[in-house]
Amino acid sequence: MKYPVLAIMPLLLLPLALGCGGKVQPAGGKDEPQEKPAETVLYECFSDPKMENGVWLLSPKEGKRVPVEVLRLGKGTADPSWDLCQWNNSHSLAGCEAAVTQYGTTYSNGVHTFARNDDGEFTMILDSSQEYDSPRKDGQPWCHLLVQSSFNRIPLKGMKTLELTFDERLLKVENLMGADFNPSLHTAQALFYFSIADVSASSAWRNKSIWLGVSAWDYRSGLTKEPQVSFDKGTATYIYQMASERTFSGADLQDGRWHTCKVNVLKAVKDAVSALKDKGEFTDATMDDFCLSEMNFGWEMPGSFYGALQVRDFSLKTDKKIK
């Protein structure tokens, strides 16, 4: 009877591979330690992620960065790398004395509150009902309370990893408009935005930007289920909103607990550019053309609402060393 060659070859070769004890030896005759794969080193993009140096309070007039004073929040004494924006608010935090409250070092005028505790958790409270004399009308500016920071144009070219993480706890959101509430005009939104700019010298889109956003809460819809593309007339810039239900892993942000937001920023940029190419924008752009310019996070309230939230552990890490 003939046997297939492949069926008997392993039996013929087995004695050659075995030592005296029947142990399979490596080619060199000795046990050789296996090298562990090198761990990827990640670099933090935020220079002061816990805001230990405080924030620059900006003038309420939207459209131009005008620092008014420094609000000290921790032990740091260096110039802050963060701004606190209070766009279109008639009740400015300028001149408010720091007080120690349940939220830590606190600046408040009874309408707006910004605070930070020793663990680096910061609290943002905005009562926009005291900023509107009547229900907000179409085209009327709206109130903001948000933080922003610049990244000095970090190129995305050569990056393999760019991950955003932060924890958020929604304390309270209340509609103070009653029957005057119109969902097409009014809401309370907690938003996170990156500004991504095309800086390629040969690009027709040079210096044009994209707002890359995560809706951390919207009174009308909670977390968003699908990506959305819109156009911001104020900055003449397209907005790409990620599906925040995915970035928060489907969490229920109304339960008063801490929840983590995780974003693969490089993938989000690719998705945003692809979506805008369908609209005839950035048609010849590649990932190598873009840089990370700035970010902002906080409340926008086109309507009368009370909103309170807390955030901690802002982190934006990349495998590319930041100069």
Between 22-31, 81-90, 196-205, the lowest mean confidence (pLDDT) is in 22-31
Going from N- to C-terminal start, the domains of the chain cover: 43-318
Indicate the pLDDT class of residue 24, thresholds 50, 70 and 90: very low
Task: Please tell me the predicted confidence (pLDDT) of residue 158.
Answer: 93
Is the dihedral angle over the CA atoms 194, 199, 79, 142 positive or is it negative? Answer: negative
Indicate the pLDDT class of residue 30, thresholds 50, 70 and 90: low
Say how far apart CA 268 and CA 250 lie, in whole Å. 18
Between 15-19, 24-28, 142-146, 312-316, the lowest mean confidence (pLDDT) is in 15-19
Distances (CA, A) of 31 to 15, 34, 37: 19, 9, 19
State yes or no: pLDDT of 117 exceeds 80.
Answer: yes
Task: Please tell me the predicted confidence (pLDDT) of residue 37.
Answer: 65
215 CB contacts (<8 Å, ≥6 apart)? 189, 190, 191, 223, 224, 241, 242, 244
Indicate the pLDDT class of residue 201, thresholds 50, 70 and 90: confident
CATH class of 43-318: mainly beta
Which helix (H) or strand (E) segment holds residue 266: the answer is helix 265-277
Cα dihedral 212, 54, 151, 215 in deg (nearest 10) = -10
State yes or no: pLDDT of 196 exceeds 80.
Answer: yes
SS3 assignment, position 38: coil
**Going by DSSP bridges, is the β-strand pair 237-241/209-218 parallel, antiparallel, or unpaired?**
parallel
What DSSP line would sit under 100-149, residue for residue?
Answer: EETTEEEEE-SSEEEEE-TTS-EEEEEEGGGT-SSSPPTT---EEEEEEE
Could you tell me the pTM of the whole model? Answer: 0.85
Indicate the pLDDT class of residue 245, thresholds 50, 70 and 90: confident
DSSP bridge pairs for 144: 300
Say how far apart CA 92 and CA 224 lie, in whole Å. 31
268 CB contacts (<8 Å, ≥6 apart)? 212, 240, 242
Q: Average pLDDT of 133-161?
A: 94
Name the residue with higher pLDDT: 10 or 141: 141
146 CB contacts (<8 Å, ≥6 apart)? 84, 85, 124, 191, 296, 297, 298, 299, 300
Other residues' Cβ atoms within 10 Å of the Cβ of residue 125: 21
Name the residue with higher pLDDT: 14 or 269: 269
Q: Scan for tokens 């955030």, then name that residue.
A: 311
What DSSP line would sit under 215-249, residue for residue?
Answer: EEEETTTBS-SS-EEEEETTTTEEEEE--HHHHTT
Q: Which pair of tokens denotes residue 259?
A: 């929840």
Model confidence pLDDT, tens digit, residues 58-105: 999 988 899 999 999 999 999 999 999 999 999 999 999 999 999 999
Distances (CA, A) of 229 to 45, 77, 193, 311: 26, 41, 13, 26
